[in-house]
Chains A and B, each alone.
Chain A
Amino acid sequence: MTKASQAKWFRLDNAALIFPAVMKQGWSNVFRLSCELDAPLDPEILRQAVNDLYDRFPTFYVRLKGGFFWHYLEQMRSSPVIQEDYAYPLTPMGIKAIRQGCFRVLYYQNRLAVEFFHSVTDGSGGLVYLKNLVARYLHLKESLTIPHTHGILSLDEKPSKKELEDCFPLCSGNYPYSRKEATSYRLSGTHEFPRFHHLISGTVSTEKLKKLAKDHGVSITAFLAAVMLQALIQKQAEEQPFHKHKPVKITIPVNLRRLFHKTTLRNFSLTLNLGVDPRFGDHSLKELCFQMQHQLLLEVVPQKMAARIATNVGAQKNPLLRSVPRIIKTAAMRYVYGRIGERKGTINLSNLGQVEVPDEMLPYIEKIEFVISPQYSYPNNCSVISFNGQTGIHFIRNVKESDLERRFFASLVSLNLPVFIQSNERN
């Protein structure tokens, strides 16, 4: 399907600017949303469904281009080719591939997966695309009529301006927030060759998890972050002598759409580095839960978030920085990201929350998964998503050691929460 005459271009939103600058051969910041259906996928119908969404999601069907001052996104001339899934999730989306298309659609047996380069959208935006792709696929295959609720968009309507806008400058505060914070404990391990990603998924009952979090007086995100902190603190204590200990912090992305009442499909989230300093003393799980809950409550308020946005937007708007050629900016951004940006957090914990779909789609969907790639300079990452009464906690890593996952899930089991483990390991 050729759309040469309609090719448009888009500026990268504020959060997206960093990702092209730091991508390298074998690593780029990508995330994956996948959906398991009740029957094997038909590639032809899937191809048709992907084509049908082209006009409704113009900011997704794009490829990365390099301008003199900034990277930008240019609309693809045709839909991406759908491919069979790889032997492991989030296989490197190389620079060449991103210049041809910023997302890819993969299928394997019953599973349909979409992997997005982060400059296009964030997890919430990607989820809207996945739901619409599945809805279109089911419509074509099963002739289902799916109502336009729970994030399912009408393909007859044109994309609204609000869906395409970069919300960061619109929500920027007047006074910037200081970026200064302590560096954190770093995870490490024996790297896998050639770049194999281990994925361990733990499935728990959402109801039981919610009850457990409630028993500790906190939200699910705060509870999981506290369990993760506990595992990381134990790991650091075993690995390093006390005088080398550092604060343990978890990077938690915050969806700003609810906070600022926006409906954009582009990036609109910010990350917070929350944690504790184990040098101050031991923390029980209950104390860690309170720490995380209170830190989240303190930080996730519109005023502070607007100030954080102001810091990022301020750098982007600075006339001096704007006039610097992209090649120099890229080198500077890469240095700052690797040496400073990523040193503030130990691991990501990205919780996409509860996924709702129209009742008509429910019988056909067995599972929805959300996986984020390992980071630029640290090997483990964790993502969480809940669907149909089950919560999936997905750990990805590009090192051999599974110590962190073992500690985390063993903690949940010790709290009487049954965990079902699946992985992409082969016998």
Chain B
Amino acid sequence: MYCVQCGVRLEEGVARCPLCNRQVILSETPISNKPQSYSDRFPQECRHARLTFLGFLTTLMAVAGFVSFIVCLKTQGHAAWSGYVMLGLALAWIIFVLPGFFKKSNPLVFIALDTLAVGGYLLYINASLGHHWFLSFAFPVTLLVGGLLLVAVCLYRNIKGGRLYITGGLLIALGNLLMLIEFFQHLTFQTSMFVWSLYAVSALSLMGLFFIIAAMIPPLKSYMERKYFM
């Protein structure tokens, strides 16, 4: 029995050529007669070990949170500082542990979730301290950083090639974002405008421009690839 496309002789009874996946036509031997060359035994998935580890981490964090709550209750009479600890642990769990349970999931979902979680944590701190910096500073900054991260991951995942252009563009965007952060800082805390962000935006814009220029000049690009594995 031969594959009409590759010209190789095939085992009797195979349905398709393993090289080109072309269906074997006019096979004289019934397909079910192909001798099975390997057993049905599959190795145990390593997922169990991973899930056990993640479960252990979750328990450890839950115990740490609970202990801090009890200690705080005993010493202060109410959940004073333990709220920060418990919510901090919950935030760490959402950012570092939760993605481990979903091996093949979309990172964009987790970035959005992390942004919300960080926002929620900051809102709690703001409310419990009785300050008023959340709406004018923490909320927009968290949203902007989360948004930039989302855009970066989305671009890297979905656009093949043009990595240098994307990196360059993102660096420039990050510079502008830092300026905005300083603007919100000025609005909320009445600090001077554009003191530190100008240095950052100049450096990041220069770096971004360099990446874009490198992408436009193939010899420079290939030198960078060779030299720095970029």
Contact = CB atoms under 8 A, between A and B. Distances in A.
B17 A421 contact: yes
A413 interface: yes
A427 B24 CA distance: 12
Interface stretch (A88-96, A134-142, A160-168): A88-96
Nearest to A96: B49
B31 A419 contact: no
A202 B114 CA distance: 51
B14 A86 contact: no
Nearest to A423: B18
Interface in A208-255: 243
A149 interface: no
Interface in B150-193: none
Contact of B8 (A25, A89, A413): A413
Interface in B39-59: 39-43, 45-47, 49
A418 interface: yes
B49 A25 contact: yes
B53 to A, nearest CB: 11
Given A26-B46, A200-B18, A413 B7 contact: yes
Contacts of B18: 198, 200, 402, 405, 421, 423, 425
B18 to A, nearest CB: 4
Given A108-B38, A425-B18, A91 B8 contact: no
B218 A414 contact: no
A263 interface: no
Interface string B1-15: 001001111110111
Given A86-B43, A194-B45, A424 B19 contact: no
B106 interface: no
B8 A183 contact: no
- Of listed A89, A343, A406, residue having the most chain B CB within 10 A: A406
A198 B19 CA distance: 11
A402 B8 contact: no
Nearest to B18: A423
Interface in A387-427: 402, 405-406, 409-410, 413-414, 418-427
A114 to B, nearest CB: 16
A421 B37 CA distance: 13
Contacts, number: 93
A245 B85 CA distance: 53
Nearest to A97: B43
A427 B38 contact: no
Interface residues of A, number: 39
Given A86-B38, A92-B43, A339-B229, A402 B21 contact: yes
A413 to B, nearest CB: 4
A402 B19 contact: yes
A411 B37 CA distance: 26
B7 A414 contact: yes
Interface in B174-221: 218
B226 interface: yes
A183 B6 contact: no
A87 B38 contact: yes
B78 interface: no
A422 B31 contact: no
B105 interface: no
A84 interface: yes
A427 B14 contact: yes
B32 interface: yes
A418 B9 CA distance: 8
The 7 A-B pairs with the shortest beta carbon distances in the complex, nearest first, are A423-B18, A413-B7, A406-B19, A91-B43, A419-B8, A420-B9, A421-B8
23 contacts: A25-B49, A86-B39, A88-B38, A91-B43, A92-B43, A194-B45, A202-B8, A339-B229, A405-B18, A406-B20, A410-B7, A413-B6, A413-B7, A413-B8, A418-B9, A419-B9, A420-B10, A421-B10, A422-B37, A423-B11, A425-B14, A425-B16, A427-B14
